[in-house]
A and B are shown apart, each in its own frame.
Chain A
Amino acid sequence: MEEGSRDQGQQCVGTTDPEEDSPNTIIYRKIEDVIMRLQDEKAGGVAIRTVKSFLSKIPSVVSGADIVQWLMKNLSIEDSAEAIHLGSLIAALGYLFPISDHVLTLKDDGTLYRFQAPYFWPSNCWEPENTDYAIYLCKRTMQNKARLELADYEAENLARLQRAFARKWEFIFMQAEAQVKIDRKKDKAERKILDSQERAFWDVHRPVPGCVNTTEMDIRKCQREKNPQKVKKSVYGVTDDTQTQSSVHQSLPSQPSRKPTREDVQKEISFLNMQLDRHCMKMSKVADSLMSYTEQFMVYDPLASTVEPSNPWISDDMTFWDLEASRDPSQHRVKKWGFSLEEALKDPAGRDAFLKFLESEFSSENLRFWLAVQDLKRRPLENVAARAQEIWQEFLAEGAPSSINLDSHSYELTSHNLKDPGRYSYEDAQEHIFKLMKSDSYARFLRSNIYQDLLLARKKLLSKMENKASPVILCTRMISTTADQSIIFS
């Protein structure tokens, strides 16, 4: 049987009814696939044997090491720790259990394990009541067998249940007696197996204190259970009208699904048409773009590479963050500004440098407009209208002091938006200006001295050299300064 992807409509191992699917159905089915294969000795499963121990025999067991080996071989798991983790998960959910321990984990050694009976599988949607648990603990005390002695936590549980069910304890006692009678009729070896499986069932639903209760469900998924009003079935066939119902899980009805109307289909058609009209980019281009992005940023990714000077979480040294926040950026940081205009503008020092460059070209109004609009979006509502008008006056009105260049369509749209000014009145204009800066000024910025000096740390280098001034070095310095300065040297 194929594991992994499953068609929602198909049924796997017989017992579950799709109508009663619990939210954990998928994982139960996957594990049941594995369990079936594990137990199928003829098809390469583990060897389940009877082990001799002192004066008795232990029927139907398999060692933890065998299970781990099988998982590694048949599920292509390379690391034994991973196989142990998966095996422990299978045990914790209740599909296999150690015969001499209440704690459901898998060990990679000679510890003996047994498989759970399908009757007790979690996929049967068990939610056993405390009455059932009380009956179980009670019948254990009735049977005079060392292996059935209650553990401390079980004795405590029994005491609590006796107090809680004080008024109907006679009923519980009678049910327990009836169960003991039924059990006595069974074959000795069979009983050993069934007793252990029953105990393992309760280890899942009433776990040892400190162990994870794997039957707990995400409350968001509980809401969607298809049959929230279902009557919980009893492990021992007890029909008790005082059975409690958990209030949270059963309060809301599931969403009724309605049939799609003509309008729905028409909406779908227009949506599909829109999708069809959209241009799809080639996969090769997409792949290239992803690869180059990750490549560029890998050196800046602290989880993927080591960062300089040190990782503050490990060294407790804040220098890394101090450097990142300083207005005097490192070459490493300046290099990022060259990746895209977005990256340059993300960094306050980058914004400063770009602004400085634009001022030198007498074209800073575009960036100042962009920054003003970003700021507008963060203003409290009461200030928005006034600020929006100010921006219009400064950048777009006739005779504006910092007039920006918008195409007529965008201008019309913005002018219209300002009749009822809001935070997003300038969205369209801002996009246009951004594209303009990206295609025009940004490229020149990257070639400019302002940027290059920072990138190559020229100013820092120069000041270093100044401190060690000597005639020879002085000449070298003069030659390396900006091109438009003539060399004064004779």
Chain B
Amino acid sequence: MGEMEELRKEADNLKDQITEARKVVQDTTLQEAVAGTTLVGRVQLKTRKTLRGHLAKIYAMHWGTDTNCSKLCVSASQDGKLIVWDTLTTNKVNAIPLKSSWVMTCAYAPSGNMVACGGLDNMCSIYNLKGKDGNVKVMRELAAHTGYLSCCRFLNDSEIITSSGDCTCILWDIETGTEKTIFAGHLGDCMSLAVSPDFKMFISGACDFTAKLWDIREATCRQTFSGHESDINAIGFFPNGNAVITGSDDATCKLYDLRADQELITYQDSGIMCGVTSLAASLSGRLLLAGYDDFNVNIWDMLKAERVGVLAGHDNRVSCIGVSSDGMACCTGSWDSFLKIWN
């Protein structure tokens, strides 16, 4: 098959050229550039609230963003419940029973009107929180994935993006309940996704050890970032939307820049052996909070790549983490069935 060989050679040649192009712009490294910056002082956050109510492992949580619900968050647990919490009073605003208890993800719509969840049922279920009679009901069941639903994020009340164990991500139209766009390209289960601050792009992390940047309207993959040595479990945008942060089973987090098209820095420590399960950036982007399998959250100075704090309070794996939209508080969820609010 001479043609296949030639094509592969062409692909390899292009890959080499791209590596060269990336090297050319490396007039410095992030580490050198920040040499003059002082390390952020030791960050000591305390647990301000503990949210009790789930009876089994918590797999996911997500903060509300709208000003009316900026202190609200939703959590999903293997006890088959979605709970919407008022994190200030610790009251449960809604406790939604699910058809399938094998839930792996949940999301809060930016408007505050809906929540979504999904898991081993391969579906994304949308719940209307503002129903006329006050009851929370299933509004839509988005079914098309052939693998488990690992993550979902609303763009607005009529569009949602999901990632799945079937290696694809899908943009759905909630009103019609149909798939608008299928984003295929990953060679392993998609574990996590995050939407850019301007809502025009999203990134996905997968078990093929790469992260991909997708253009939502053009329906194409813009860039691929590699470097991790194992599954990418968590992914997020740097607050200005120009860089991507990933967390992996290889016990490291990495920062990739979109415009330089390459990795800027790795967050690792010889004393950390467990995989990263979740991550969130603080409002300014200076701090990176990452949850690990060893029950702790490590806080990193994102520029200097040094640890500046630890949140130790959970008795089992930290499975999810999120920073509220005003940057005031960090929420962690764990397999120990509790959520904690820190600042």
Binding site for B on A (CB under 8 A): 3-6, 8, 23, 26-27, 30-31, 34, 75-77, 82-83, 85-86, 89, 212, 216, 219-221, 223-224, 248, 255, 257, 262, 265-266, 268-269, 271-273, 275-276, 278, 280-284, 286-291, 293-294, 296-298, 300-304, 307, 311-314, 320-321, 324-325, 342, 377-378, 380-381, 423-424, 427
Contact = CB atoms under 8 A, between A and B. Distances in A.
A30 B271 contact: no
Interface of B: 3-4, 7-8, 10-11, 14-15, 17-18, 21-22, 24-30, 33-34, 37, 40, 43, 45, 48-49, 67, 88, 102, 104, 111, 120, 147-148, 150, 156-158, 165-167, 175, 187, 189, 191, 198, 207, 217, 221, 223, 229-231, 238-240, 242-243, 249-251, 257, 259-262, 264, 268, 270-271, 273-275, 282-287, 289, 293-296, 302-303, 310, 312, 315-316, 323, 326-330, 335-336, 341, 343
A255 B283 CA distance: 39
Contacts of B37: 291
A290 B283 contact: no
Nearest to A82: B271
A287 B28 contact: yes
A276 B21 contact: yes
15 contacts: A223-B147, A262-B7, A271-B221, A273-B14, A276-B14, A281-B25, A281-B259, A283-B28, A283-B29, A283-B33, A290-B30, A301-B327, A303-B45, A304-B43, A342-B198
Contacts, number: 231
Closest 3 CB pairs of A and B: A287-B33, A297-B284, A301-B284
B26 A301 contact: no
A311 B260 CA distance: 37
Contacts of A325: 67
Contacts of A266: 7
B189 A224 contact: yes
A378 B310 CA distance: 40
Contacts of A75: 270-271
B312 A85 contact: yes
Q: Interface of chain B, helix or strand or loop or mixed?
A: loop
A169 to B, nearest CB: 32
A273 to B, nearest CB: 6
Contacts of B261: 275, 278, 280
Given A85-B312, A282-B25, A313-B341, A303 B48 contact: no
B67 A223 contact: no
A139 B18 CA distance: 64
A214 to B, nearest CB: 9
A327 B49 CA distance: 30
Contact of B283 (A27, A262, A303, A424): A303
Contact of B48 (A248, A272, A313): A313
Contacts of A223: 147-148, 165, 189
B55 to A, nearest CB: 16
A283 B260 contact: yes
Given A262-B4, A284-B27, A302-B283, 5 more contacts: A86-B294, A265-B8, A280-B261, A303-B323, A427-B217
A77 B242 CA distance: 34
Contact of A304 (B14, B187, B198, B286): B286
B39 to A, nearest CB: 12
Given A303-B282, A304-B40, A27 B259 contact: no
Contacts of B189: 220, 223-224, 255
B30 A303 contact: no
B328 A286 contact: no
A386 B243 CA distance: 38
Nearest to A71: B271
Given A281-B260, A304-B282, A293 B239 contact: yes
A272 B14 contact: yes
Given A297-B239, A302-B327, A31 B273 contact: yes
A223 B191 CA distance: 12
